[in-house]
Structure 1
Amino acid sequence: MVLSASHSSQQALLRQYGIRPVKRRGQNFLVDTNLARALAADSLVLGDHILELGAGGGALTVHLLESARRVVCVEVDRNLCALLSREYGTRENFQLIEGDLAKLDWAAALAAAGGRPVISGNLPYVLTSKVLFALADHRRQCRGGVFMVQKEVAERLCAACGSRSYGILAVVLGSLFEIQTIRQVPRSVFWPRPEVESAVVRLLPRDSWEDSEYRRFSSVVKALFQQRRKKLRTQLRHHFALSPADVDALCAQAGVDPERRPEQVEPAGWRRLAALLPAKDVS
């Protein structure tokens, strides 16, 4: 008899299938039922079509399926895919994509979920930035994202201008999305316990960006933050072959002090600056 995840601990279910965490994949399974239920509610309040990334053993999946119209799960581990298929494969609102997040066909996955889905999941640390920027690329095709990430990443996403954590994530993603840390997550809810604490972040798309402007803005911010301690004056001359007079004129028009460093420029200043810079590949 199959033991349903909704009536047993997640850890017991994983052990029933002979599954143990794989260290090289950075697997830390969520095993706290109350938190999993709360995370599902955080996603479902935004919409009832869900694209779940890294479904694992289905700790979040089982609660999403209770209320969602459709849940499309992405998982790369074959043993976990077998568990998910056996536990939930007969449900009409469930679909499994067996594949690597690093190589995910985002357009196809979003289309499978349908209805401008909410993207949700417990993100592997090594793929967090890749997933977040994929969300940015597909922001018009989704209602937003609810992700469990390392606490350090949450702090970088929500960092204030001038702080130590302020950087590319805060500038680029903070310009495209309203970002909020909605839960702090202790290490005790995972099996095995990770070395770091986690947090849940919510990203809701803003409406005022054209794709061409975003691509330009993103490339400028990423290029200049590679040397975050160098002043804008120096970097603009280097990357765009501008004269000192041209730098002064451009920064004056953008309302940005050329003597500031990248970490001292607010997102709105970056947006004005990127829009005025000459078209050039700065990647």
Structure 2
Amino acid sequence: MTSTPCKPLSLITPDWPDELGVRAYCTTRQGGLSTGAYTSLNLALHVGDDPDTVAANRSRLPGHDKIVWLEQVHSADCVSVDASSSGQPPIIADAAITDTTGLTVGVMTADCIPVLFCDIQGRQVAAAHAGWRGLLAGVLENTVHSFQAPAEQLLAWIGPCIRQAHFEVGADTVNAFADYPNHCVVVDNTWRIDLAGIAVERLNAAGVRAISDCGLCTYTDERRFYSHRRATHQGTAPTGRMFSAVMLSG
């Protein structure tokens, strides 16, 4: 593991009211110790980076000692976690919800959509990983339905993800999204899908009204974000992962 000094963390945060007592953030690729294609704040152990370096990167995260990690499999599963889940092996799921103060739930992404949630009473928080398969399978709806509060009392924030201009897909994927024709367009003879726009539609259909989108694209901003698709196009895959997290800070 390199001993190169870390730059400060560069975090992106939802514009949520302070009085909720909720802390939420999304990391960028800046502020860690990883090198090469993983430079520098890679937070994933499954992409081939040095495990000791990843552990050092994770130790820089706010609330790092009480994070519940997930093994994401593009499912629709949302798990409820508490203090007993902290420090345990990753849970196989693509979303997590908690009402435990000080416990951080989060998801890793490098193009897929991270969505963070809280209720307006500041009693529960959740994080969901929505790739196109999980989006179709209902991971966002399952997360919404896991809250004790009704959907209209939830806040949802869409973090950095690949945007429509760069999300090229084949006919099979377009057919899977046939219910969303307004979010599927042809550019240069190639289909492009607006996953974030579809996520907003599905959240609205589930009853969530207070939805904000950071609007940032992982593919275009190489300085700040990892992008699996960009790395594949450049021949530098595998690449690192960002982490989007939320906790009740009390």
TM-score (norm. length: structure 2): 0.38
Structure of larger gyration radius: 1
**Larger relative strand fraction:** 2
TM-score (norm. length: structure 1): 0.35
Higher relative contact order (CA 8 A, sep 6+): 2
